[in-house]
């Protein structure tokens, strides 16, 4: 990935192992310092903290300590079991130590001055026991509910964070979001080196997770809100920071899969790594052209990833075989892969993360998204545009050719692409239906194609059982 890495001297980073987070923070959390992770209930604070410890052990061989104030060790272990994190095993191997600090307010009576040395001793004995490099306190604010004397508590927290620094451990401290401040009890006052904010909101009945780095003392970092997702592999953050308009381009051309369409583009087809928009009203053959392109990619021995938001893979394969395009053999060869899901299954951001993950796993040379307009059911125009911009930037950076289909409403102008993303596209092919002498005919023309002398003819477009045919204009 063409990415600028600017590391400032002086701050050493501790990689979290959480997908994407290390890219946004340009290397990880500040080593040897505490980081505050805050957010409302259910935003994934504990998971982020747990991943920090578990991935730290698994990937960087840095043992960790998890001090929980809300859940006991057993509950914690069970909660992350489904995310491929075997906490019990790590504890058994003495790589990880968990302590559950339980404070029962009704049992405790204050009788004069005290300090929190008990907490320090417990933490220290665990750190020494596993030789921990990473420490999590989740969430230390529970102390405020358990201990009535806030003055002592605040002084002790200040001492605790100083002590953690002196121990040289990289720590994550979690905190519940407060009404006016970042955390309910103003932890940000003590942990000021790095603050990460997790957000979980509902837009159009769909849950959307976001992550933002509010502050990172002494380091450059991404400042946006980044889409985040929790799935079976844990938490992942989508680093958009690594994208931009600085991708390299090639002059290499690839076939569209339709000879006549290639001919309309100087006889060579699309540029590799370009983005193509296919738009048209219902039944104009958008998916068929997409299938022809997929088939052509696979014929060259390259991989194609097909995101379908409307039809199931089997249905596409059946339908395309009726016009002489055999997609099944490419699926069997492992060159063509489908990913079908309803747009409403998850939020836009989650789709975006999913698309990224699938592309990263499969490493295709072309990607088809059919159709992008279906996403309007889960997001506004501006959101879809920003999401597609990220997809386009991402695939272009990786020199992947992207083909997007877009359904135009019958009533709207055919040159108005619904998601408003035509400006992102290098090539725009328009399809439409028209009636000639009582027959409905399909027409195809290239509205634009950057960097090539494309034909400006309107062509007659036919779907036959031997494939797609383009004829001279009928009019």
Partner 1 sequence: MEKKMDENNRRMSSIERDLIKKSKEADKSKQFVLRLYIAGMTAQSSKAIKNITQICEDNLKGRYDLQIIDIYQQPALAKGEQIIAAPTLIKKLPLPLRKFIGNMANKEKILVGLDIQPKD
Residues that bind partner 1 (CB under 8 A): 99, 101-103, 107-122, 124-125, 143, 146-147
The residue written with tokens 């009576």 in the block is: 109
Q: Pick the closer one to partner 1 by CB: 42 or 148.
A: 148
Angle of helix 313-321 versus helix 286-299 axis, rounded to 10: 90
Query: Sign of the CA dihedral 18, 24, 27, 33?
Result: negative
Of 209, 230, 212, which Cα lies nearest the Cα of 221?
212
Q: How far is the CB of 125 from partner 1 (least distance, A)?
A: 4
Peptide bond before 231: cis, by omega within 30 degrees of 0? no
Q: What are the backbone angles phi and psi of residue 233, rounded to the nearest 5°?
A: -105, 5
Closest distance between partner 1 and the C-beta of residue 129, in Å? 9
Residue 182 Cβ vs partner 1, minimum distance, rounded to whole Å: 24
Cα–Cα distance, 137 to 135 (Å, whole number): 7
> Judged by CB, which is closer to partner 1: 17, or 64?
64
Nearer residue to partner 1 within complex by CB, 152 or 474: 152
Do residues 69 and 142 touch, judged by C-beta distance below 8 A? Answer: yes
Q: How far is the CB of 77 from partner 1 (least distance, A)?
A: 17
Q: How far is the CB of 72 from partner 1 (least distance, A)?
A: 11
Q: Which lies closer to partner 1 via its Cβ, residue 97 or residue 238?
A: 97
CB 218 within 8 A of CB 428: no
Report the nearest approach of partner 1 to the CB of residue 109 (Å): 5
Sign of CA dihedral 259, 406, 371, 252: positive
Nearer to partner 1 among residue 108 and residue 471 (C-beta): 108
Nearest approach, Cβ of 64 to partner 1 (angstroms)? 17
Q: Is the torsion defined by CA of 187, 188, 191, 195 positive or negative?
A: positive
Return the number of the residue (120 or 247) whose C-beta is nearest partner 1: 120
**In terms of CB distance, is 117 or 326 closer to partner 1?**
117
Rg (CA), the chain: 27
Taking the complex as a whole, the smallest distance from the CB of residue 152 to partner 1 amounts, in Å, to 9
CB 96 within 8 A of CB 90: yes
What residues form DSSP beta bridges with 188? Answer: none
Q: How far is the CB of 124 from partner 1 (least distance, A)?
A: 7
Nearer to partner 1, 108 or 473 (CB): 108
CB 473 within 8 A of CB 459: yes
CA distance 142 to 212: 24
Cβ atoms of 199 and 214 closer than 8 Å: no
């Amino acid at each position: 990935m063409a990415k600028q890495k600017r590391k400032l001297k002086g701050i050493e980073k501790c990689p979290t192992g959480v997908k994407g987070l290390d890219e946004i923070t340009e290397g990880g959390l500040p080593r040897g310092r505490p980081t505050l992770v805050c957010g409302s209930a259910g935003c994934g604070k504990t998971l982020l903290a747990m991943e920090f410890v578990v991935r730290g052990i698994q990937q960087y061989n840095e043992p960790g300590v998890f001090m929980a104030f809300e859940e006991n060790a057993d509950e914690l272990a069970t909660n992350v079991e489904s995310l491929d994190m075997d906490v019990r095993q790590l504890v058994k191997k003495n790589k990880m130590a968990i302590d559950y600090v339980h404070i029962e307010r009704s049992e405790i009576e204050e009788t004069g001055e005290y300090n929190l040395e008990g907490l320090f001793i417990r933490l220290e004995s665990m750190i020494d026991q596993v030789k921990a490099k990473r420490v999590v306190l989740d969430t230390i604010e529970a102390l405020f509910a358990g201990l009535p004397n806030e003055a002592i508590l605040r002084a002790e927290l200040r001492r605790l964070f100083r002590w953690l620094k002196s121990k040289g451990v990289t720590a994550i401290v979690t905190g519940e979001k407060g009404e006016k401040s970042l955390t309910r009890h103003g932890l940000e006052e003590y942990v000021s080196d790095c603050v990460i904010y997790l957000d979980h909101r509902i837009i159009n009945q769909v849950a959307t997770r976001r992550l933002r780095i509010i502050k990172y003392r002494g380091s450059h970092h991404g400042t946006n809100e980044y889409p985040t997702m929790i799935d079976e592999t844990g938490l992942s953050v989508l680093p958009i920071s690594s994208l931009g308009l600085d991708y390299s381009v090639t002059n290499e051309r690839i076939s569209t899969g339709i000879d006549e369409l290639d001919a309309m583009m100087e006889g060579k087809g699309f540029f590799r790594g370009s983005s193509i928009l296919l738009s048209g009203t219902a039944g104009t053959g958008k998916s068929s052209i997409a299938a022809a392109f997929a088939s052509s990619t696979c014929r060259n021995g390259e991989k194609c990833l097909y995101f379908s938001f409307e039809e199931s893979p089997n249905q596409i394969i059946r339908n395309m075989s009726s016009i002489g395009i055999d997609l099944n053999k490419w699926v069997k060869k492992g060159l063509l892969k489908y990913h079908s899901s309803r747009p409403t299954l998850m939020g836009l951001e989650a789709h975006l993360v999913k698309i990224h993950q699938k592309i990263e796993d499969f490493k295709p040379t072309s990607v088809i998204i059919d159709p992008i307009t279906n996403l309007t059911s889960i997001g506004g125009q501006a959101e879809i545009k920003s999401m597609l911009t990220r997809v386009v930037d991402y695939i272009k950076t990786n020199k992947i050719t992207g083909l997007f289909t877009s359904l135009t409403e019958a009533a709207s102008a055919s040159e108005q692409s619904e998601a408003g993303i035509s400006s992102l596209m290098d090539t725009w092919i328009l399809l439409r239906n028209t009636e000639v002498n009582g027959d409905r005919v399909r027409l195809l023309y290239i509205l634009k194609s950057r960097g090539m002398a494309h034909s400006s003819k309107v062509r007659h477009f036919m779907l036959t059982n031997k494939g797609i045919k383009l004829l001279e204009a009928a009019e």
